[in-house]
Amino acid sequence: EIVLTQSPATLSLSPGERATLSCRASQSVSSYLAWYQQKPGQAPRLLIYDASNRATGIPARFSGSGSGTDFTLTISSLEPEDFAVYYCQQRSNWPPRVTFGPGTKVDIK
């Protein structure tokens, strides 16, 4: 099973700052990596798919990069609504295997 590791576990930043979140896979997942945002009491929302493609309606301040085993989600300038938990997910062995990372919480400094 492919294991995803996310770092840091918590990122404390102020609005307007740049956020850089990391996701590392235990083996290559090519570009089959997605990022989701989840706010308290809400369902996850797809932000990025296939490592670098923004999903419908996602603001341009969100960008994804990477391939193989190392991936990054960047939020160029944090807005108040961006403070949330972010999960990465790989689908390289789909179907049926997918795995999620443990999440990175971005909170207000």
Partner 1 sequence: QVQLVESGGGVVQPGGSLRLSCAASGFTFSSYGMHWVRQAPGKGLEWVAFIRYDGSNKYYADSVKGRFTISRDNSKNTLYLQMNSLRAEDTAVYYCAKDRQGDYDYWGQGTLVTVSS
Q: Which residues between 42 and 81 bind partner 1 (CB under 8 A)? A: 42-46, 49, 55-56
Residue 47 or 78 having the CB closest to partner 1 = 47
Smallest distance, partner 1 to C-beta of residue 77, A: 25
Distance of CA 18 to the CA centre of its chain: 14
* Number of neighbouring beta carbons within 10 Å of residue 40: 7
* Nearest in space to 25 (alpha carbons), one of 95, 84, 100, 97: 100
Q: How many positions of this chain bind partner 1 (CB under 8 A)? A: 23
Residues that bind partner 1 (CB under 8 A): 32, 34, 36, 42-46, 49, 55-56, 87, 89, 91, 94-96, 98-103
